[in-house]
Chain A
Amino acid sequence: MEREPAINLRHVTKSYRRDQIQIPVLSDLSLTVRQGEFLALMGPSGSGKTTLLNLIAGLDRPSGGAILVQESDLALMSDSQITKWRSDHVGFIFQTYNLIPVLRAQENVELPLLLTKLSRKERRERARTALRIVGLEGREDHFPRQLSGGQEQRVAIARAIVTDPYLLVADEPTGDLDRASAEEILLLLEQLNQEFEKTIVMVTHDPQAAKRATRLLHLDKGKLVADVAQERGAASPVAQEQAS
């Protein structure tokens, strides 16, 4: 049975203005991301991967077209509405983790919960649960500088899932990690997708990482050039080509 669409992009275009020059980044891109999908976005630098991720996550607005989420068009939402939508429905995972260095692991995870009506105790409990899910039980009181890169990214993932969003966006989540740590993070993302049914959109240059996704999109010069459903763990033709 085909799942419900989580995000629907219709004829989306995006261009940036540099001085007097209009630079097109995405042109007439239509895409449906279904609930529970694990989508990998690949493509050469400048192909528009991160721009597409930012549009899906509501961090940026399209120059044309519509981005529909739960019957609402992100492009038509006010800044305040789109910010609220992000806090309720999107979890972010960045390449450089972007933890707040002055906050402990638990406090970093708790940060998005400050925007909710939860009590202090409830926030603490939820943050601990999220840290337990990512395998960092016992590291609650560590500052980011006291953690390894892989552990920092786990904290970032815990922060991303603590509000129980349906969409996780990850921009090169393993880009700063060694192979072993990267493998752990990818396993964790897989687990979140399979066990917790999170919809994940991940930008990556790494074909090994892309193998973990259930669907692979390949962008080139702002256009979708390949959209391949794949068995988890199987190397897609595009990924194979990139790897070679």
Chain B
Amino acid sequence: MKFLGYILRNARRNPVRSLLTIASISVCGFLAMILLSLFSTNNEVRATLVPYNRVITMSAQGFTQPVPIALAREIPAIDDRSGIHAIVHRESDDKPLVSPFSWYGGKFRGESATFFAQFGIDPDTLFDIYPELTIAPDQLKAFKERPDGTVIGRKLAEDKKLQVGDAFELKGEIYPFDMNLTVVGIFDGPEKRDLRTCYFNWNFLNEGLKRDFQGQGANNAGTVLMRCKSDPLVARLCVAVDEDTKSSDRATKTQTEDAFVSQFSEMIKDLQTYINMVGLAVAFSLLVICGVAMAMSMRERTSEVAVLRAIGFQKGQILFMVLAEAVLIAGIGGFIGTFGTMFLFKFWDISPYTMGFFPFFYIPTAVAVTGFLVSVVVGLLSGLVPALRAASLPVIDGLRKVV
């Protein structure tokens, strides 16, 4: 602590250089945080899905191929027949918590692209399958009763300034017909759920296909979503469903919700490798930036270090002071770049600008802490060579530089 004042003064010795170094590290930290959080956010969200024991059945050929709606009825039967009894049944009417989950993908009110998720589902079971989503009872009742009703997430309602009773028109992009819906409810939920999704009655979508598309694509569920009791039963149910369908023309792949979500990460796994490499390049750049700044700074102070050594400062104390200065500068830059970015995205929701690609984006605390620690390590490494040089400089050589 005795040396802190001297270390702080040295860090401010050349304010422009120190500020530029700090700014460089902050910008690198900002970029690294965004890149690394793309995947970490996904992993954190996936982890929060696990306790709900939701299972998704999709076509064995991939989620772009639909499975027939009949499966939504057959899967509970398979569950019973196999004696697994994994699917949760609603207490009031013993209805299995199963729902079709069919992507519509339309443009909202003349927008240039699809900016939010739109699914045809079973209004009767959806909010039992997603107990973490909340909706007012009268709105849920209206959703169940009104065929053209839609419920939308709170953030979507805020973005589009929509209220219950407003018209909600989606222009078909995949299907050649539009969906003229009415907002009957606005749901809310935890931060780590997509609150920009719109749900509507699957039957309304199916009727549209029959009416306006000569029945093409009708009676398909897209995927089938269900809620199960416990993790061990889930694995058995997945095997049973896929076994039952494997010899048919509608072979399925059944998996947990988090495994389903992870498919999207897997699809861009190569990108993740590149992003990690960019992260390493950023760390290396930081090392060079800090190293150059510290080397320049120490070169200018050769005689001062020699004076300190002459008046009795030990090599270890010189080493400590130079390293502390490097860590201080890198640490300040790292702190601004990591926790500053985390703070920024806590209050700045960028989802509306990502064309729906990131329904939510934030910097996980673990990523920010890791980034900050990396900046501290970079500071240590960058200061090491100048510090060792300064500490091992023969005193008379250092003094000769000025005398």
Residue numbers of A with Cβ under 8 A of B are 54, 57, 59-60, 79-80, 83-84, 86-88, 92, 94-96, 98, 100-103, 107, 111-112, 114-115, 159, 171-172
Contact = CB atoms under 8 A, between A and B. Distances in A.
B310 A59 contact: yes
Contacts of A171: 403
B6 A103 contact: yes
B10 A102 contact: yes
Contact of A88 (B308, B312, B315): B312
A83 B314 contact: yes
A112 B399 contact: no
Nearest to A100: B304
Contact of B313 (A98, A115, A172): A115
A80 B402 CA distance: 25
Nearest to A159: B311
B396 interface: yes
Contact of A95 (B12, B13, B396, B403): B403
Q: Is the interface of B mostly helix, strand, loop or mixed?
A: helix
Contacts of A100: 6, 304, 307
13 contacts: A60-B395, A60-B396, A83-B315, A88-B312, A92-B311, A94-B399, A98-B402, A100-B304, A102-B12, A103-B9, A111-B6, A114-B6, A159-B311
B6 A84 contact: no
Nearest to B316: A80
A87 B395 contact: no
Contacts of B6: 100, 103, 107, 111, 114
A44 to B, nearest CB: 17
Nearest to A169: B310
Given A92-B307, A98-B303, A100-B304, A112 B312 contact: yes
B5 A107 contact: yes
Given A92-B307, A102-B12, 10 more contacts: A80-B315, A83-B309, A86-B311, A87-B313, A98-B402, A100-B6, A103-B9, A114-B3, A115-B317, A159-B311
Nearest to B400: A50
B390 to A, nearest CB: 14
Contact of B395 (A59, A80, A107): A59
Interface string B122-133: 000000000000
Given A59-B396, A102-B12, A86 B403 contact: no
Nearest to B309: A83
A115 B12 contact: no
Contacts of B310: 57, 59, 86, 92
Contacts of B13: 101-102
A171 B6 CA distance: 26
Nearest to B314: A83
A114 B321 CA distance: 13
Contacts of B12: 102
Contact of A87 (B304, B312, B396): B312
Contacts of A172: 403
B2 interface: yes
A125 to B, nearest CB: 16
A92 B398 CA distance: 14
A80 B312 CA distance: 9
A100 B3 CA distance: 14
Contacts of A83: 309, 312-315
B360 to A, nearest CB: 47
A115 B316 CA distance: 12
Given A86-B312, A92-B311, A102 B403 contact: no
A216 B312 CA distance: 28
A96 B403 contact: yes
Interface in B1-45: 2-3, 5-6, 9-10, 12-13
Contacts of A101: 13
Given A95-B403, A96-B403, A98-B402, A84 B312 contact: yes
A129 B92 CA distance: 89
Interface string B369-403: 00000000000000000000000000110010011
For the complex of A and B, the 4 pairs showing the least CB-CB separation, nearest first, are A87-B312, A102-B9, A98-B307, A112-B311
Nearest to A171: B403
Contacts of A59: 310, 395-396, 399
- A54, A88, A100, A112 interface centre (most CB from chain B within 10 Å): A100
A92 B311 CA distance: 7
A84 B9 CA distance: 25
Nearest to A104: B9
Contacts of B317: 115
A100 B10 CA distance: 10
Interface in B303-339: 303-304, 307-315, 317
Interface string B289-311: 00000000000000110011111
A59 B317 CA distance: 17
Nearest to A88: B312
Contacts of A103: 6, 9
Nearest to A84: B312
